[in-house]
Structure formats: C-alpha cells, structure tokens
C-alpha cells in the first residue's frame, strides 16, 4: 500500500461553480486531491472578472479543472481559466469535462450545416501546453465514436465510461439474474454492447410508418425480464418512452433506464417522475450520473431517479 501511495501524485483540483458538489465528492475519494478555489466575479457589463487563488503555489504542481459546459453563457468564463492554468508553470494539466455537450451535432447532412462538436473540439485543442506536455482531457461516454478524432495533437483525450458503475448497481438488484439490456437504436448498441455482452440484449429500431417514426423490437426477447434501456444521453426522453411502451407490450416484467448524461432541457425529466397515480407505464428506475450537475439538483429525491456518481472514477482518472 505504501508503494502504491508513493506513486500517486498530489493534484490541485479547481472547479466551476456548478460542479462544486461533484468536486467535493471527488476530493473526498482521495487524500491526494486538494480542492482549490477561483473567484468567479463579473464586471458591470456582465463579462468575467476572474481571479485564480494561490496561483503562485501552483508552480511545479499537477493541476486539474472540473468543467461543466451546460450553457453557452458559462463556456467563455471557464475557457478563460482553462487557458490560463497550464501557463502557471504547472507540472501537468488535466481538464475533466464529463459531458461533451455538442457531441450530438457532429454530422453535416447538407452544405451549410455547422458541426459544432468539431468547433468545441478545436477550442479545446488550443489549450496551451503546460511544462508537462499536452493537456489530458477526460470525457465520459462521448456521443459519437468518431469524435475522438476531432481533437488535435495538443490535447490527449481520455475517453471514460459510466457503464462499469451501472454494472455495479445492477448486481445489487434483487432481480439481477433477470436483467436484459435494451439498446434504443443501433448507435447505442455499437457504443455499449461490448461492455455489456454478458447480459442478454434487445435491440430496438425506429421505423417509418406513414408520417410517424415508430419504435420496434429488431432482435431479442424482453419477456418476463427486468429490461434496462441503455444510452449515452437523454434530451426530451421521447425515444425512451416509446421503447418502454414496446418492451412492456412484449412482456417485460419491469423497464428501467440508464443514461450517462441526463441533459433534460426544459425540465423534460418531469415526464418520468412517479406521480401519485403511479401508472403502469412508469420506469422502475432511471439512473443517471452527475455529469450534468443542474439536472442532479432538479431530480434530487424524485422517483424513479437515482444518481450514480462519477466521483470515484474521476478521482482515478486524475491519477492517470
């Protein structure tokens, strides 16, 4: 154990306001993580007036920043800090951005479409190199596998996943021997099936019928099982609801869902909460991680939601 500790590095961890709870959880995982603070002030015109506390003490230290790009409004102020920290003569710099928010906008379907996932990747690629070399960029369950190639050589992307945490949780369930994993489409299957291949699986697909796109079961049998729909993120939740209906119609005993990133714009999570009448169509569990801190605050103690924290996984990633 002493040998293992001697190889660990002390990390100075900064964070944006939104991520304070998650940063505290990360720090509680390890004596080798020291939480640091930033004064996030603004000038009268609303533009940032930021001060990094204890900047002199960072020389020669391993430094990390925990970011949340939940809205365009907070990206600029955080980028200002992310660009400044590596220049303070730090030994290494790690950026933890659990949710890469523009990840679902990666395709150009016609001339004029702007692939904003590529834009954000370029902005992050331009983080200055620290004395220790390129920035390590830790992202969880990025939306499209090809996005790993969007980053240039000035950053080293580290792609992590929340799936091991889901598997731990599933093993704790009383019906863990009756679990079937369902993927809402081929994209989700491609992303996750190798990590979940010891579970029976169901693959759904959206098919066009007239003007409507309807969810159908493409392969697998959910009958009599606790079916857990797995995807990387949820926005409105419409696809998950359609999947739940079709799985229940095919005999699923219970349906739950897991997404790494609970984005839920416009409080769309409300569609999933258990109302007093608790309809048959309700999800038994809806697991998300704390990659989207605003959602975590909103859904606290509301069934069927349960938050699986990335804190331990992030603490481990800071030691890479």
The CATH number given to whatever domain includes residue 205 is 3.40.50.2020
Is the domain of 117 the same as that of 215? no
Instruction: Name the residue range of residue 181's domain.
Output: 163-289
Taking a C-beta distance cutoff of 8 angstroms, is the pair 140, 192 a contact? no
Residues 6+ apart with CB under 8 A from 50: 38, 39, 40, 41, 77, 80, 81
Domain-embedded: residue 297: no
Q: Is the pLDDT of residue 108 over 80?
A: no
Phi, psi of 34 (to 5 degrees): -105, 120
106 pLDDT more than 90: no
Same domain for 57 and 87?
yes
State the pLDDT at residue 103: 65
217 vs 102: which has the higher pLDDT: 217
The pLDDT tens digits for 226-239 are 999 999 999 999 99
Alpha helices in 181-292 (DSSP H): 186-192, 238-249
- What whole-number distance in Å separates Cα of residue 51 and Cα of residue 172? 45
For residue 52, being part of any structural domain is answered with yes
Q: Are residues 15 and 155 in the same domain?
A: yes
What is the chain's mean pLDDT, rounded? 93
170 and 133 within one domain:
no
Burial-class residue 167 by CB neighbours within 10 Å (0-12, 13-18, 19+).
middle
Structural domain contains residue 305? no
On whether both 57 and 184 belong to a single domain, the answer is: no
How many CB atoms are located within 10 Å of the residue 311 CB? 20
Q: Answer yes or no: do 139 and 31 share one domain.
A: yes
| CA 213 – CA 130 distance, rounded (Å) | 49
pLDDT of residue 4: 59
Instruction: Specify whether 156 is located in the same domain as 180.
Output: no
Q: What is the pLDDT of residues 220-279, one digit of tens each?
A: 999 999 999 999 999 999 999 999 999 999 999 999 999 999 999 999 999 999 874 455
Same domain, 73 and 171: no
Q: Are residues 134 and 250 in the same domain?
A: no
Query: Is 294 within the bounds of a domain?
Result: no
Mention every residue, 6+ apart, whose C-beta is less than 8 A from residue 130: 63, 85, 86, 87, 90, 91, 92, 93
Domains in the chain, number: 2
More confident of the two residues 208 and 127: 127
Same domain, 30 and 168: no
Question: What is the Cα–Cα distance from 319 to 247, expressed in whole angstroms?
Answer: 41
pTM value is: 0.93
Residue 306 lies in a domain: no
86 has a pLDDT exceeding 70: yes
Tell whether 137 and 191 lie within a shared domain. no
The answer to the question of residue 300 being in a domain is no
Would 280 be classed as within a structural domain? yes
Residues 152 and 22 in one domain: yes
- pLDDT at position 1, please? 60
pLDDT tens digits for 288-298? 999 999 999 99
83 located within any domain:
yes
E strand spans, 111-266: 135-140, 155-160, 179-183, 201-209, 212-219, 226-234, 254-262
238: Cβ contacts below 8 Å, ≥ 6 apart: none
What pLDDT, in 10s, does the model give residues 12-36? 999 999 999 999 999 999 999 999 9
pLDDT on residue 282: 87
């Amino acid at each position: 154990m002493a040998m293992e500790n001697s190889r660990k590095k002390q990390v100075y961890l900064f964070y944006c306001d939104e991520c304070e709870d998650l940063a505290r959880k990360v720090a509680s995982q390890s004596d080798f993580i020291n939480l640091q603070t930033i004064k996030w002030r603004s000038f009268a015109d609303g533009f940032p007036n930021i001060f990094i506390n204890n900047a002199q003490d960072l020389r020669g230290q391993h430094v990390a920043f925990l970011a949340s790009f939940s809205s365009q409004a907070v990206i600029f102020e955080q980028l200002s800090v992310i660009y400044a920290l590596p220049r303070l003569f730090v030994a290494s710099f790690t950026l933890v951005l659990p949710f890469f928010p523009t990840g679902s906008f990666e395709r150009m379907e016609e001339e004029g479409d702007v692939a904003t996932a590529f834009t954000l990747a370029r902005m992050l690629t331009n983080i200055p190199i620290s004395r220790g070399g390129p920035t390590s960029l830790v992202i969880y369950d990025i939306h499209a596998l090809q996005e790993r190639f969007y980053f240039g050589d000035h950053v080293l992307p580290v792609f992590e996943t929340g799936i091991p945490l889901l598997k731990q949780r599933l093993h704790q369930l009383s019906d863990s021997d009756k679990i079937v994993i369902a993927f809402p489409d081929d994209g989700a299957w491609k992303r996750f099936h190798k990590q979940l291949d010891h579970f029976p699986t169901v693959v759904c697909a959206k098919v066009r019928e007239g003007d409507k796109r309807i969810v159908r079961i493409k392969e697998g049998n959910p009958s009599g099982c606790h079916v857990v729909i797995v995807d990387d993120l949820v926005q409105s939740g419409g696809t998950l609801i359609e999947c739940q209906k079709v799985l229940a119609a095919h005999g699923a005993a219970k349906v739950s869902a897991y997404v790494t990133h609970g984005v839920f714009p416009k409080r769309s999570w409300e569609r999933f909460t258990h109302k007093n009448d608790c309809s048959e169509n309700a999800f038994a569990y809806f697991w998300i991680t704390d990659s989207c801190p605003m959602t975590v605050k909103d859904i606290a103690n509301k069934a069927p939601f349960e938050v699986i924290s990335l804190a331990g996984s992030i603490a481990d990633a800071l030691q890479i």
